[in-house]
Amino acid sequence: MSYYEPLAYIVPSEEDGMMLKNILRNRMQLSRKLLSRLKLTPEGITVNGERKYTSVRVKAGDVVEVRMEEEESEDILPQDIEFEVIDEDEHLLIVNKPAGMIVHPTHGHYMNTLANAVVHYWRQRGEKVRFRPVHRLDRETSGVLAIAKNPYAHQFISEQMQNGAVDKWYMAIVRGSVRENGGTIEGPIDRDPESPHVRIVTPTGYPSVTHYEVLERYGEEATLVRLKLETGRTHQIRVHMNHIGHPLLGDEMYGTDEEGRRVAAYSADSNETAEGETLGRHALHASTLGFEHPSGRGPVRFEAALPPDLTGLLARLRSGHLE
């Protein structure tokens, strides 16, 4: 049996006599689910190299180590697809997901996903790792995406996301001139009863909060905004910006007319980049992701610059030649 690199914790003097399970839960921040799994793993939990029950008490200077069994995503076919690595260590792979790529295989989309590309990348490097995205990005959304390389890292960051402790910033180009320089959108979100794959703002929905600030206006045509998510509902930014009358450029699902019918924010003919190519997606980019690193090295922050299609669109807007 092979393991990932162990997580280690040296017991300080003030924790002399503390029960091992309290060290694991409160100091190493292991979830109950992961702790139960480790109890059944040979060498999963050791103190000074010896396997111990979690009911024992530790001494100052003891080295508590946690070992997780290596895993692979055997149901994901490796595929040689190029992608950008922003950062990588034994716990995390941070990538810059391109627009148009699905994160994980789904029914009807078993290949050409980020998962296929990452599994191939790891196998070429001889790494036995299971594909565990910590969060998701829509197919058309580009930008920073975190992938956990072991169960502990996934749990550690997922808990931060549930507690609202992860810094998630997006850049979007929206239709029209946003009058306020910044603000907060609080609108409960749930599925549209008439179209279950679409989300809407409804009083009976789940609490959803989006903060935004205006970076640049392009007359009455469009606005570049920076957004921060306080909650993480499906399509949240797209739904909220449409709710205040400023749908994302290129968003065919959530661009609406005055009567509320869904229409394209811009047609393919008019929604072009500076190079004359159609944008072909909604103008949303995950620019920044920050969180407490699972290794204990403190807070980290990862960034991805706007891709060429969006910088091209901005160039056209600045020049006044969108049409």
For residue 261, pLDDT beyond 70: no
Name the pLDDT band for 29 (thresholds 50, 70, 90): confident
Q: Specify the amino acid at residue 168.
A: K
Say what the pLDDT of residue 75 is.
Answer: 79
CATH number of the domain residue 217 falls in: 3.30.2350.10
In terms of domains, do 57 and 84 share one? no
Q: Give the residue from 49, 66, 83 where a domain finishes.
A: 66
Does any domain span residue 306? no
For residue 317, pLDDT beyond 70: yes
Give the residue, 302 or 76, on which the prediction is more confident. Answer: 302
Give the residue, 284 or 4, on which the prediction is more confident. Answer: 284
- Residue 162 belongs to what H/E stretch? helix 151-162
DSSP assignments along 9-70, one per residue: EEPPGGGTT-BHHHIIIIIS---HHHHHHHHTSTTSEEETTEE--TTSB--TT-EEEE--B-
What's the pTM value of the predicted model, to 2 decimals? Answer: 0.80
Say what the pLDDT of residue 264 is.
Answer: 34
What is the count of structural domains for the chain? 3
Question: Domain range for residue 47?
Answer: 7-66
* Known catalytic membership, residue 80: no
How many residues belong to the chain? Answer: 323
Name the pLDDT band for 160 (thresholds 50, 70, 90): very high
Residue pointed to by tokens 């002399």: 16
User: In angstroms, how far is CA 160 from the centroid of its own chain?
Assistant: 12
What is the helix, strand, coil percentage profile of the chain, to 5? 20, 30, 50
User: In angstroms, how far is CA 144 from the centroid of its own chain?
Assistant: 7
Q: Give the residue from 115, 140, 163 where a domain finishes.
A: 163
For residue 185, pLDDT beyond 70: yes
Name the pLDDT band for 256 (thresholds 50, 70, 90): low
* CA separation for the pair 300, 323 (Å, rounded): 41
For residue 71, pLDDT beyond 80: no
- Residues 134-159 have pLDDT tens digits of 998 999 999 999 999 999 999 999 99
Say what the pLDDT of residue 322 is.
Answer: 55
Closest to 173 measured CA to CA, from 306, 275, 319: 306
Q: 62, 138, 251, 309: which one is catalytic?
A: 138
* CA separation for the pair 207, 240 (Å, rounded): 12
E-strand ranges in 76-153 read 84-88, 92-97, 132-133, 142-148
Say what the pLDDT of residue 224 is.
Answer: 98
In terms of domains, do 174 and 255 share one? yes
- Residue 118 belongs to what H/E stretch? helix 114-124
Residue pointed to by tokens 């109890």: 39
The overall average pLDDT reported for the chain is 88
Does any domain span residue 299? no
Other Cβ atoms less than 10 A from the Cβ of 197: the count is 9
**Inter-residue contact 165 to 229 (CB < 8 Å):** no
Say what the pLDDT of residue 31 is.
Answer: 82
Closest to 136 measured CA to CA, from 167, 182, 103: 103
In terms of domains, do 83 and 18 share one? no
**Per-residue DSSP letter, 90:** S
For residue 205, pLDDT beyond 80: yes
Say what the pLDDT of residue 1 is.
Answer: 61
Does any domain span residue 295? no
* Over residues 22-44, mean pLDDT: 86
- Residues 77-136 have pLDDT tens digits of 899 999 999 999 999 999 999 999 999 888 777 899 999 999 999 999 999 899 999 998
